[in-house]
Structure 1
Amino acid sequence: MSSPESPYPLRPPRSTPESRKGVPPQPRTETRDDMIIERDVEVTTRAGRTVQADVYRPLDGQPVPPLIAWSPYGKHDPAPIGQIYPASGVKPEHMSDLTTFEGPDPVYWVPRGYALVIADIPGTWYAKGPASYLSPEEAADYHDLVEWAGTQEWSNGKVGLTGVSYLTSSQWRVAATNPPHLAAINPWEGWSDTYREVARHGGIPETSFWPYIWERWGASTGPIEDLEAETREHPFFDEFWASKAADLEAITVPAFVVASWTDQGLHTRGTLEGFRRISSSQKWLYVHGRKKWAEYYLPENVEKQAAFFDHFLKGIENEVESWPPVLAEVRTDYYEGEFVEAESWPLPDVEYRELHLDAATGTLVTDAPADEATATYHGLGDPFAPERLVFEHRFDEETDIVGHSRAVLHMSAPKADDMDVFLGLFKRDAGGRIVPFPYFAQFEDGPVALGWIRASHRELDEEKSTPFLPVLAHRRALPLEADGPTRLEIEILPSGTRFAAGDSLVLVIQGYDIKHYRKPLVYSRHETDINTGPQLLHTGGAHDSYLVLPIRPRS
């Protein structure tokens, strides 16, 4: 049930702070390494909720810019990501024992002349709530903390925001409220549309990360937003899910946005959409093909963060104004690639080309097949039927695919009125090897790109869709066409990959997740329950099925 304090249904907390190493607030001041550390500073928001913060600042007391990390993960809990996730690539020497999960390191930033405000969001841990997540109410509380930090005697009045994942998703939300003292943001991989990018990929319920993350956010002494009930009760994109999507166009503050090709199904789409749609006149995009946590803490990238904040929070003239608006890595292999510069995102000079599926030959061809053909696989796997369809195109010359791809497929399911379709793009080198790429921050055999759709959610939102990005409306369920194949237009998440002459692009189509990892490893899973019997792909003639790929000119 909801309460007068919250428009959302509430539930008891998932866990107590004490059960997760929390200690009740003990306001105090400590010193360490030329830092003043103010513990358990309580800030009351206009709504009467509270933020609990630890504030790290220089010992000399001179006014400095504050950087805020707004987190549900616990300011009290230094989190050695490299130990928690050994395959994350984060090296112990890249963070101190004061670094909290996905947040900045005080030992780096305070000596450089910054204050860090590491904040527990209202309703989590010992902060008074109730808790809500990525909501307008939370954004208003964050706005109030920005204004508090901008008006302290130790502050120079110019506030910046930093941090990965939730610490970025919340940046989109608060920046849209335009706090007067907010001077710069550094969104480093974070979704901006909870429904489309996390909870329901292509309309398919996500069954691994989304339920898991409720547990991670849920330590509290009071009620928290009941995300489980809300997700169950809101299968379509309605006012509830709209309240969980950022008003990106309202953002005007300078922004250094960092995305990766490798966080597909979590942060890739939302971060790139964030950069594309924000109204900031001063914005830069850096896109890499590596592991997100490792890149955030990599010393050379911390120096880029510092250069950005030095320029906008301290007024230092440096190299930032000469940065290219977009710097994107075009991958050739695992942790190998070339960075290319551009003026905007999507890259303005890409050419969208079609490759057509031919079910008769299992190939992707440049001209639409004249003859109709079908290929069949079993929706959930069957030992007596093919599990997937595979199509391949060999490149005769070096080709860069950089940006948003999409697929138009004609599908049918004779024994069902709905179907879930999963797509994967892979690179096969000239020697026949499937080239592996980092994936979901900790895996090392990922695809080039992924796509998903639940056929009943195929209706497009015409206002939000662009020629390169089909956006599903998710307002109602439409059964499969009864008198023939159903046309599905499927978003394939952005990627950047180079194919040498002789390399091939491989398209996989199947009825369940493209990648499989043993539990309890967490990544985007979709344990679908609607696929029944065979699923048919129709190609050629009146049912031309094809990919649209963003090809960067070779020059």
Structure 2
Amino acid sequence: MNHRLFRPALLAVVAASAVVASGIATPTVGAEAAPVRAVARESSAWTPRPEQYPDTVKTTDIPITMDDGVVLRGDLIQPADAHGEAIDKRLPVIVTITAYNKTAMSGGGGGLAGPPPSYLVKRGYNYLFVDARGTGSSAGSWAAFSARENKDSGKVVAWAHRQPWSNGKVGMAGPSYMGISQLMAAGHHPKGLKAIFPQVPGADVYRDVVASGGQLDVGFIPLWLGLVNGTALIPPAYTGSDPQSAIGNLLDHLIGGGSFTMTLALQALLGGNPMYDGPFYRQRSAINYLDDVTVPTFLIGGQYDLFQRGTPMIFEKLMRNGAPVKLIEGPWDHLQGSSGADVGDAGYGSIDELQLRWFDSWIKGIDGHLDEIAPVTYYEQGADRWVKKPRWIADDLHARSYALSGSSAMGGRAGELRLKDPKAGTSTLVPLPVSGLCTRSANQWTAGVLSMVWADNPCFTNNDINDYTGLTFQTAPVDRAVRMQGPINAHLFVSTTGGDGMLSVVVEDVAPDGTVHRITGGWQVVSQRKLIKDRSRYLDGQLIQPWHPFTKESKAKLKAGTIAPVDVEIFPTGAVIAEGHRLRLTIQGYDVPHLLAPIPDLPSQALPLKIYTGPGHRSVVTLPVR
């Protein structure tokens, strides 16, 4: 099979699936933000070192035996001389573990494949791509981030540490699934692991992506499962030398992977246990493996990414542990953050150069002048600039609450957002199953595939049409810029017709010409409104990031005639409402094609809700502002 042709073909299949799915349903770190443009090479004491070796060479399907006897397979890429012969020298190893078939991924080149390995290999690193258990050329059964697979990640690093072509020092790199695998490996403290570089990794798989707010992700999850099962069709490279094992693994993957994914999906859609948070998802959440991890970690995150919520949480967890950790959070969706193509815009070098700086510093002992890189560098929407900070939630932030005031009506009549003296009002929200279609949310929750199909889709840059399908509340034009950064909470008083409902809440910037820029969003099922205060986050005593259990036991429908507060976690961001612009909050009952209620809950979550405002029912949105 021509794998160079396979890779774009696979992306085309995924893109087509997304279209169908959418149709269905240091510079100084200080208190003041400093703008950074392009790659400020002249201001840096660091420059990338040149290539040491002219070529690379690959050895495919090397067997890696796990402690339970299951054989994983890896492709090793080594630096080579001008004749294509591997350099006979022990070198540090960069490891990537993937479920998307190493044969399709090991060439790199963008998207979920991440940057190509040749940049590092030609500068004196070996690079090892390994298929996760039950995927690609590896034996066993795939069960996405099971305890067994997570243990494998640590075992693979330890294996690389011991090999005759390794000097014993190991790093890890890769985006998405490959980024999460790094965190799982680090949690097992394998010998030899010196540094990791996860791009767009998740922290809490349930809240980040599977069921944000308590409804099922039907935008990304089917595409993701299709990608894993689709790449399982690529035959192993060792088919000719060991056809019996190769064909046996191929059949096991097709049967086992399909059984795992189809069973889970069906149970969740029917409202079974996979619909709720619990041990299954905790086992698969990287944040639960990081309690004592201190390995140096460089994180790349995206403000429009699938793991918009989780990547900053990983950063904060590692910083609390005392780990050397950096975070760049850019205006990227999942495919953009995975490719790293625009990471250089943050001002520290391209993705290849940043990885070289990081691994040279922590693995080779070469000074990468890492003190030039702020702990946190994030893109500020609305200002087109990069902001540098010492922490994710820095000391210069404080909580500001805007109260919803008066009434709003679907179709364009806006209520108000006020800092004080809100007026009483009642607004009726009728869930419309088209809300979300004409938004950047549709692109975000199909991992950025829709922008590959139609990059200049006006729905990605103007939310105005979509807002007519919900209730809007907005400020008067602000006379002073409002800078926000971090997680946001919407505290809304609601009543329901059927005891339940979905609140899809969007924070927006309305320009003087009427263009509506979607900044970020959040979601919450009314019946899952139970709040766990000691797991929630507060700033100046005000709630900015609620934590809900999302269990079967915590589910409680709202009695007819009862008005109750519901806290909606709005995913973190960095943005400014410029002088003369308006801050807008829009509330809708759907986010299509992102979320869908399980079948038993569809009737009650499709009925009207009411939103209450005023002194007696103080509905507010609380922002961390600078």
Task: Report whether the alignment pairs 1:366 with 2:444.
Answer: no
Runs of at least 5 residues in structure 1 that lack an aligned partner in the other structure: 1-18, 22-31, 81-94, 436-446, 517-522
Q: Could you tell me which amino acid in structure 2 is paired with residue 543 of structure 1?
A: H
| Counterpart pick for 1:410 among 483, 493, 503 | 493
Residue in 2 aligned with 1:519? Answer: none
| Counterpart pick for 1:531 among 601, 605, 614 | 605
In 1, Cα distance between the equivalents of 2:535 and 2:183?
Answer: 18
| Counterpart pick for 1:350 among 397, 416, 424 | 397
* Larger deviation, residues 185-194 vs 297-306: 297-306
In 2, Cα distance between the equivalents of 1:382 and 1:122?
Answer: 39
The offset of 1:33, in angstroms, is 5.5
Residue in 2 aligned with 1:175? Answer: 186
* Larger deviation, residues 537-546 vs 41-50: 41-50
Q: Could you tell me which amino acid in structure 2 is paired with residue 61 of structure 1?
A: D
Residue in 2 aligned with 1:326? Answer: 376
The offset of 1:412, in angstroms, is 1.1
| Counterpart pick for 1:495 among 569, 573, 576 | 573
Residue in 1 aligned with 2:516? Answer: 434
Q: Give 1:329-478 correspondences, 5 Å limit.
A: 329-332=379-382, 337-360=384-407, 362-369=415-422, 371-380=423-432, 387-393=469-475, 394-414=477-497, 416-435=498-517, 447-467=518-538, 468-475=544-551, 476-478=554-556
Residue in 1 aligned with 2:4? Answer: none
| Counterpart pick for 1:268 among 291, 295, 308 | 308
Are the equivalent residues in 2 in contact too, given 1:410–1:488 (CA < 8 A)?
yes
CA 389–108 in structure 1, closer or farther in 2 if over 3 Å, else same: same
CA 280–121 in structure 1, closer or farther in 2 if over 3 Å, else same: farther
Runs of at least 5 residues in structure 2 that lack an aligned partner in the other structure: 1-8, 12-52, 81-86, 233-249, 345-349, 408-413, 436-467, 539-543
Residue in 1 aligned with 2:363? Answer: 313
Residue in 2 aligned with 1:245? Answer: 285
The offset of 1:418, in angstroms, is 0.9
Counterpart of 2:167 in 1: which secondary structure?
coil
In 1, Cα distance between the equivalents of 2:79 and 2:333?
Answer: 32
Task: Report whether the alignment pairs 1:297 with 2:318.
Answer: no
Q: Aligned Cα RMSD in Å?
A: 2.5
In 1, Cα distance between the equivalents of 2:500 and 2:137?
Answer: 45
CA 297–155 in structure 1, closer or farther in 2 if over 3 Å, else same: farther
In 2, Cα distance between the equivalents of 1:507 and 1:473?
Answer: 25
Are the equivalent residues in 2 in contact too, given 1:75–1:100 (CA < 8 A)?
no
Are the equivalent residues in 2 in contact too, given 1:381–1:387 (CA < 8 A)?
no
Are the equivalent residues in 1 in contact too, given 2:491–2:568 (CA < 8 A)?
yes
The offset of 1:485, in angstroms, is 1.1
The offset of 1:310, in angstroms, is 0.8
Are the equivalent residues in 2 in contact too, given 1:380–1:531 (CA < 8 A)?
no
The offset of 1:229, in angstroms, is 2.5
Q: Could you tell me which amino acid in structure 2 is paired with residue 316 of structure 1?
A: I
Task: Report whether the alignment pairs 1:480 with 2:558.
Answer: yes
In 1, Cα distance between the equivalents of 2:617 and 2:66?
Answer: 57
Counterpart of 1:352 in 2: which secondary structure?
strand
The offset of 1:159, in angstroms, is 1.1
The offset of 1:291, in angstroms, is 4.2
Q: Could you tell me which amino acid in structure 1 is paired with residue 314 of structure 2?
A: G
The offset of 1:401, in angstroms, is 1.1
In 2, Cα distance between the equivalents of 1:501 and 1:486?
Answer: 35
The offset of 1:157, in angstroms, is 1.5
The offset of 1:465, in angstroms, is 1.5
TM-score by length of 2: 0.73
Counterpart of 2:168 in 1: which secondary structure?
coil
Q: Could you tell me which amino acid in structure 2 is paired with residue 343 of structure 1?
A: P
- Cα deviations across residues 203-242 of structure 1 (Å, max 9, x unaligned)? 1111121122122223243123613423523222121222
TM-score by length of 1: 0.81
Are the equivalent residues in 2 in contact too, given 1:538–1:545 (CA < 8 A)?
yes
In 2, Cα distance between the equivalents of 1:368 and 1:230?
Answer: 49
Q: Could you tell me which amino acid in structure 2 is paired with residue 304 of structure 1?
A: L
Counterpart of 2:489 in 1: which secondary structure?
strand
In 1, Cα distance between the equivalents of 2:582 and 2:479?
Answer: 9
Counterpart of 1:202 in 2: which secondary structure?
helix
Q: Could you tell me which amino acid in structure 1 is paired with residue 428 of structure 2?
A: T
CA 380–168 in structure 1, closer or farther in 2 if over 3 Å, else same: same
The offset of 1:192, in angstroms, is 1.8
| Counterpart pick for 1:256 among 275, 298, 309 | 298
The offset of 1:359, in angstroms, is 3.0
In 1, Cα distance between the equivalents of 2:588 and 2:332?
Answer: 26
In 2, Cα distance between the equivalents of 1:20 and 1:450?
Answer: 30
The offset of 1:372, in angstroms, is 2.5
In 1, Cα distance between the equivalents of 2:506 and 2:62?
Answer: 48
In 2, Cα distance between the equivalents of 1:430 and 1:289?
Answer: 23
In 2, Cα distance between the equivalents of 1:44 and 1:368?
Answer: 67
Are the equivalent residues in 2 in contact too, given 1:124–1:221 (CA < 8 A)?
no
Task: Report whether the alignment pairs 1:58 with 2:79.
Answer: yes
In 2, Cα distance between the equivalents of 1:101 and 1:405?
Answer: 29
Q: Could you tell me which amino acid in structure 2 is paired with residue 497 of structure 1?
A: A
The offset of 1:405, in angstroms, is 0.7
Q: Give 1:115-194 correspondences, 5 Å limit.
A: 115-194=126-205
Q: Could you tell me which amino acid in structure 2 is paired with residue 165 of structure 1?
A: S
CA 50–104 in structure 1, closer or farther in 2 if over 3 Å, else same: farther
Task: Report whether the alignment pairs 1:208 with 2:219.
Answer: yes
Q: Could you tell me which amino acid in structure 1 is paired with residue 623 of structure 2?
A: L
In 2, Cα distance between the equivalents of 1:100 and 1:408?
Answer: 37
More helix by share: 2
Q: Percent identity?
A: 27
The offset of 1:281, in angstroms, is 2.4
CA 469–71 in structure 1, closer or farther in 2 if over 3 Å, else same: same
Counterpart of 2:135 in 1: which secondary structure?
coil
Counterpart of 1:128 in 2: which secondary structure?
coil
In 2, Cα distance between the equivalents of 1:368 and 1:345?
Answer: 32
CA 229–328 in structure 1, closer or farther in 2 if over 3 Å, else same: same
Residue in 2 aligned with 1:13? Answer: none
In 2, Cα distance between the equivalents of 1:424 and 1:190?
Answer: 23
In 1, Cα distance between the equivalents of 2:333 and 2:386?
Answer: 16
When the two structures are aligned, how many residues end up with a matched partner? Answer: 481
In 1, Cα distance between the equivalents of 2:142 and 2:150?
Answer: 12
Are the equivalent residues in 2 in contact too, given 1:254–1:281 (CA < 8 A)?
yes
Task: Report whether the alignment pairs 1:505 with 2:583.
Answer: yes
Are the equivalent residues in 1 in contact too, given 2:301–2:329 (CA < 8 A)?
yes
Q: Could you tell me which amino acid in structure 1 is paired with residue 610 of structure 2?
A: L
CA 106–281 in structure 1, closer or farther in 2 if over 3 Å, else same: closer
Are the equivalent residues in 1 in contact too, given 2:479–2:579 (CA < 8 A)?
yes
In 1, Cα distance between the equivalents of 2:292 and 2:75?
Answer: 30
In 2, Cα distance between the equivalents of 1:285 and 1:375?
Answer: 40
CA 471–102 in structure 1, closer or farther in 2 if over 3 Å, else same: farther
Q: Could you tell me which amino acid in structure 1 is paired with residue 323 of structure 2?
A: S
The offset of 1:462, in angstroms, is 3.3
Q: Could you tell me which amino acid in structure 2 is paired with residue 507 of structure 1?
A: L
In 2, Cα distance between the equivalents of 1:381 and 1:213?
Answer: 23
